[in-house]
Amino acid sequence: MSSADNAPSPQSVTSQRFPTREVCGLIIFFWLALLPFSVNYLFFHPDERHYTDAGIIMCKTHDYLTPRDADGSPRLIKPILTYWIVVAGYQLFGITSAAARIPFLLLGGSCIGLGSLISHRIFGERRTTLITAAILAVNPLICMASLTAIPDIVQCFSLLLSAYGWIGLLRKGFSNVDAACAFVGAGLAIATKGTPGLLLLAYSLLFLWKNPWKRLDCRPLLTTKWVALGIGLALGWYLLAIATHGHFALQEFIGDQVHSRLTRKWWSPLIQLPATPILFVFLI
């Protein structure tokens, strides 16, 4: 008998009540604990200036399709979603350094909530869900990404939203809510950092098609309205940028998303190999 036959079915997990109050309390604590660091520049990422400068220019010119550097030149190497989040902060709270960062802090807390929901959906246990929430709340990468106005925490939120939908489709079969989360999350991930957002989408579709418990026919899933919405979120700005700026936009996109990733030094991954045995020790 194969290991796939011995594997527990996802539907066999008995779900306990989701610890809503505890998780919400932890999220609020996360927000309050990091708020003083978010509203000042004790922590600063050099790339923040690209998004904050472009957001200020967008608010002044009302051109929300073309991110620009401080000198006014178009900056099309990164997708638009992070710029729009910065603009939303400016529109709600005024043009201040704190206003640019508050939306990212809110997204960081939302990542804790989504991660907890994913854990509960997989294991169905209160204890495991609370442990997941606690780990995410003190994770240094989550904390640092939540303090700066850069795409990292937006990408994290988008991928978690997509993963929540895919896991629901795996456990329960097709549902509109899970399909919406899966494809909208993937679309937002692509609208945040481009091609890396495709990886989870491709892997999830392949796994649903070939998973060891129950193979899911993906054809009905791919004909839903959520696929069209996800594609619109993912490609809409790119098409508008190419229509507006022509070859320059296409050249910037290919340079950032393709050329820069393929021309990195081939030996760079080898630097991380010495840490591999240590990782296996922790996993065991």
**Per-residue model confidence (pLDDT) at position 256:** 67
pLDDT band at 53 (very low <50, low <70, confident <90, very high): very high
Q: Percent of the chain scored above 90 by pLDDT?
A: 55
Are 189 and 79 in contact by the 8 Å Cβ rule? The answer is no
Which class for 155: exposed (0-12), middle (13-18), buried (19 or more C-beta within 10 A)?
buried
Q: Hunting for tokens 């990195």 — which residue is that?
A: 264
Are 180 and 165 in contact by the 8 Å Cβ rule? The answer is yes
d(CA 41, CA 31): 17
Question: Residue 4 domain-assigned?
Answer: no
pLDDT band at 248 (very low <50, low <70, confident <90, very high): confident
84 has pLDDT over 70: yes
Please indicate whether residue 269 or residue 123 has the higher confidence score (pLDDT): 123
In total, how many domains does the chain have? 1
Name the residue range of residue 241's domain.
Answer: 9-260
What are the tokens at 175? Answer: 């549902």
pLDDT in tens, 155-213: 999 999 999 999 998 888 778 899 999 999 999 999 999 888 888 998 888 888 887 77
63 has pLDDT over 60: yes
Question: Residue 1 domain-assigned?
Answer: no
- The predicted model gives 103-115 an average pLDDT of 97
pLDDT band at 252 (very low <50, low <70, confident <90, very high): confident
Least confident among 44-58, 88-102, 238-252: 238-252
Please indicate whether residue 197 or residue 51 has the higher confidence score (pLDDT): 51
Least confident among 232-236, 241-245, 266-270: 266-270
280 has pLDDT over 80: no
Per-residue CA distances from 47 to 39, 50, 132, 185, 261 (Å): 17, 6, 30, 24, 18
Please indicate whether residue 270 or residue 228 has the higher confidence score (pLDDT): 228
Question: Residue 114 domain-assigned?
Answer: yes
- The predicted model gives 259-272 an average pLDDT of 60
Q: Percent of the chain scored above 70 by pLDDT?
A: 84
Q: Hunting for tokens 């081939």 — which residue is that?
A: 266
Please count the residues of the chain.
Answer: 284
**Per-residue model confidence (pLDDT) at position 2:** 46
Question: Residue 191 domain-assigned?
Answer: yes
pLDDT band at 245 (very low <50, low <70, confident <90, very high): confident
Please indicate whether residue 238 or residue 173 has the higher confidence score (pLDDT): 238
CA angle (175, 178, 182) in 5-degree steps: 135
The SS3 assignment for 68 reads strand
Question: Residue 2 domain-assigned?
Answer: no
Task: Compute the chain's Rg from CA coordinates.
Answer: 21
Are 160 and 115 in contact by the 8 Å Cβ rule? The answer is yes
- The predicted model gives 259-266 an average pLDDT of 58
Question: Residue 165 domain-assigned?
Answer: yes
Nearest CA among 155, 168, 33, 153 for reference residue 103: 153
d(CA 247, CA 83): 22
- The predicted model gives 132-151 an average pLDDT of 94
126 has pLDDT over 60: yes
Question: Residue 140 domain-assigned?
Answer: yes
CA angle (38, 83, 34) in 5-degree steps: 15
pLDDT band at 261 (very low <50, low <70, confident <90, very high): low
Least confident among 58-72, 123-137, 219-233: 219-233
Question: Residue 94 domain-assigned?
Answer: yes
Per-residue CA distances from 123 to 32, 149, 207, 217 (Å): 29, 33, 19, 24
For residue 214, the cross-strand partners are: none
